[in-house]
Amino acid sequence: MNVVGYEWQSEFAKTHRGEGRAEGRAEGEAKAVLLVLGARGITVPNEIRERVTNCTDIDQLERWVQRAAVIDKAEDLLE
């Protein structure tokens, strides 16, 4: 069965596919936050790492990615 280009018909499938995409995007943004901080040599305490990885708000994660590029310590990320 060729699934490339297949469009899900049921509302159940559409809903869960959308939720999966959103979860994947949030995971990617959280990873980006932590990668930027790590690349800059900033140590990330476990409490902050958990808060970032558990966040599902894409807008918040995008703001954290931007902040991660300019802050001096991980604690400043959440301010």
d(CA 30, CA 25): 9
Over residues 65-79, the pLDDT tens digits come to 999 999 999 999 998
Range of the domain at 34: 11-78
Q: What is the pTM of this model?
A: 0.72
- The answer as to whether 4 is a domain residue is no
- The answer as to whether 6 is a domain residue is no
Which residues contact residue 73 at a Cβ distance below 8 angstroms, ignoring those fewer than 6 apart?
Answer: 42
d(CA 37, CA 66): 11
- The answer as to whether 16 is a domain residue is yes
Nearest alpha-carbon partner for 34 in 72, 1, 5, 77? 77
Q: What's residue 56's pLDDT?
A: 93
Arithmetic mean of pLDDT, 10-14: 59
Q: Domain tally for the chain?
A: 1
- The answer as to whether 74 is a domain residue is yes
- The answer as to whether 52 is a domain residue is yes
